[in-house]
Structure 1
Amino acid sequence: MKVVPTVAYCMNLDSRTDRWTQVVKDFTRLQAAIPITLERVSAVANPRRPQEGVAETVHKIISKAKQKSLPYVLILEDDLFIIDPLKVKQCLENSPEHWDILSGGVYHYLGDKAWSQDWMKMKDFCSLHFIIIRNTIYDQVLTMTGKSQHLDRLLGAEVKCGKMTMYLMYPMPCQQRPGFSNIRRRSVNDNRRKLPWIQHPDTLQN
């Protein structure tokens, strides 16, 4: 199956103009490989419970996708860094037929089995920096408020129990830039984790 998103919706807090400037610059790497535009989505600020703000922002994007009758929607976080745009292109051109979620990278996962040279089926995952949501689960995602857990963990739980089908680009071509996270309220660098990043000269180091 060929998955061809023409717009990427990027969640960005109004206060984080630094991140928006950086992701616009970084995203040109993918735009050189595939015809896609980057659209900023003003993230819902909720300093006390940031995970609820993330869920509300995703709901805004999903609602727009439903209004536009999109078969799927690409959602990004503003710390996204695409290591290997050509790998992303190759994966999207050779996607599985039956899926609910596709991801370009994770910082926690439980793998099931390799589906192809480009994709691995997942049993669990954690991350939202490059995620494609299919219309098969739009309504279900809209019920997830983030009040009990972060949205990615709610999605991961659905994947774990077999209610959603999820695949990860493999090896992973998408990372997150290190820096201060408003969600986790501290500086983070998940690139320190021993994860299956694709081998590429532009891979962010720890």
Structure 2
Amino acid sequence: MHTAYVGSICSPNPGKGFYGYYLHNRNGDKIASRSGVASSYTTLNAAEYMAVAILLEEAVSLKIPILQVYSSNKLIVGQLSGQKKVGAQELSKLQKKVLSLLPSFRFINFEYTPADQNKGLKLARQIIGKPRSRRERAEEFLQNTFIKIDSNNYIYIKGDNRYRINTQGPSCTCPDQQNRGGLCKHLMAVHILQEKYPEII
């Protein structure tokens, strides 16, 4: 029987989701490991489903017939084992994706393991400590509110903070841009929005 350790983490929760997994053969030798970003904005439980789906897709590609999966997320383990119901609509969609992969295995079992024994979870946690690009940090701002005034001017809102952004200048009223100049993360976030939604932004 092949075994796998899978885990995910969100920083914050909800926030950017990371995943990691280790896949071992019958002799306990590692045959695959992977980590990365599950989503730029998600919840911990949703990220765990994404992690499981990515793991199973690799296991299917390796033609693994029997698989034991260890996760430290009790809710997801319970739902995939049929012991708990799925309530959230987002989780229901992700669960359906995972369930669609199960017929590819002759046998598969999901079991809980403590976080300190989960190598996949440790792998996911390591990503948070890695330096991120300014663009990746700017993408985290997309979860907040941007109000379009016209084609060049926007208002950024997060809590009590409100900054006026002008993409033509370019300028932003945030302390970072006022002190250092250049392209602050708010300006970068607007440019990312314009790339993703040109018909709207």
- The alignment's TM-score, normalised by the length of structure 1, stands at 0.28
Larger RCO of the pair (alpha carbons < 8 Å, separation 6+) = 1
More helix by share: 2
Which structure: larger Rg? 2
